A and B are shown apart, each in its own frame.
Chain A
């Protein structure tokens, strides 16, 4: 939805102090509020808050992506217990309670990433824990005001004012006031709850224009090159510096690979689901010792292919929202946009030589 032509029915405005009112009202109603707070110097994370005192609004993006609210880093699936003289007891870990949750302050890229996660976690089998968390959560997203050099949402179909998967999109003003654009039903409910803290925006209200995020590459051209270049020295070159840690995947809003492990002592234990990463060498290793992706080149290739070719072929959307965390987090300066623009340049070269 373009900001300038928004249906006035869905536009509200709020004076300074609305955020405090919102948090107080939600708390009073027994709703869990998750908002951005400063946890380390200069670092902001989404965390449960009791009051709006700790909530910050002046930040680029949160360190860990929004996905952790719906798909935790480590979660218990079931517990088992074998007491002497009784049968083995196996219990499914309860699915998230029905307590409502409102996440205030995620960015449009992180929220848009939920489209990709929804597709996976709802593919034929409904991952009940993920779904329960999605159902109970309202997303009140803060539109971006200051993307940095690593942001590239506009190259992957997003924008700093993207409303995808948001229930309300908030445009924060200079002095603490805000404009709120309701996007979905849960957003209407949120506005209703705020009562006097918000009011309908007058006719003719326009929203700010999104800050400029220049498009850096054409994902269609990238896909075409990927289709034809499974075998290429390019992957070896790209992978030489990669150390195969997991920082890029773990901080990625759309990455969702996981491991299932049992942890137990003699009698009691848990089966857990933990974040995992296809860059780790053991990810695809068979018990027989055979590893279909035995080197970093094949693993780097998998990462790019999965996000820009395989996932789109399967689910009709890219598995990347352009948040730039992978590049910021990479300790060896790997730059995903650099890799993709290289690919695009090669695609163009290929076309030129074909034309001769």
Chain B
């Protein structure tokens, strides 16, 4: 796995400059992590350490998850390496006032796709060249046309099943859930200091890993992410039990698109359906 040097070199130099000029206290990017199949998050605080940063097809993580962590925020201004999918998550964090734009420096990286073979989410990506960043490391890459229908393919495949078949499918998948909460903890938009599962008076979501509790948890999380989730796919990648969480998120995104012509995270100025009111709002989905 060779680093994409066309991006790695400008990235390292941009990071080093930001640090040496004191514009940021830390640059969050990706590090090589030996010859692992996953590039790990790297927290660079000294300009001379910027050479630890790389960019290649193993840079799966959505680093935006670190922007809501006190241990990182207390370092000061943050420079963060973002792919197009990560930037969408940051747009949501901005519109939800979790981060202030002036507290972060966005170092965009053009991304032609992760994984070998490329991930499914990359085949429907329309943000290969992240826009609105303070710095773009490397030259833009080609942005192919994307068939919008393909964005929700997994959800559509499931919708083609009967209700009983679909329930059987999810019953099998959600029975595997071990309630490790990797899905929640890796998600940049699950930033509640105290998750609903941790509330005991009352215990809204049972913590046991039986089907009933697992359905409650996964449905609650899906509801809490509707209109917010940017389909970065991290939850599905993080799940140690190979549960196709992306399909649930795709379904919610498909509904938001259908009902409100809305895709989350395209701009930090967007008006999100569940936090704004419009007299013309369709009433489908309200029971």
Contact = CB atoms under 8 A, between A and B. Distances in A.
Quick check: do A and B touch in the complex, using CB within 8 A?
A: yes
A295 to B, nearest CB: 6
Bin the interface of chain B by size.
35 or more
Interface residues of A, number: 38
A350 B72 CA distance: 29
Contact of A239 (B61, B65, B71, B210): B71
A63 interface: yes
Contacts of A174: none
Which has the most chain A C-beta neighbours within 10 Å: B39, B40, B210, B240? B240
Interface string B164-206: 0000000000000011111011100000001000100001001
A29 B32 CA distance: 54
Contacts of B209: 73-74, 274-275
Contacts of B213: 74
B184 A240 contact: no
B243 to A, nearest CB: 9
Nearest to A246: B180
Interface stretch (A50-58, A204-212, A331-339): A331-339
A43 B242 contact: yes
A245 interface: yes
A73 B39 CA distance: 31
B184 A331 contact: no
A64 interface: yes
16 contacts: A74-B210, A240-B71, A241-B43, A243-B186, A245-B182, A245-B238, A247-B238, A250-B240, A261-B203, A261-B208, A280-B181, A282-B198, A296-B71, A331-B234, A332-B41, A333-B36
A73 B61 CA distance: 28
Given A64-B178, A335-B36, A244 B185 contact: yes
Contact of A332 (B61, B181, B184, B240): B61
A241 B41 contact: yes
A332 B242 CA distance: 16
A261 B180 CA distance: 16
B85 to A, nearest CB: 15
A270 to B, nearest CB: 9
B40 A295 contact: no
A296 B65 CA distance: 15
B62 to A, nearest CB: 10
B218 interface: no
A75 to B, nearest CB: 9
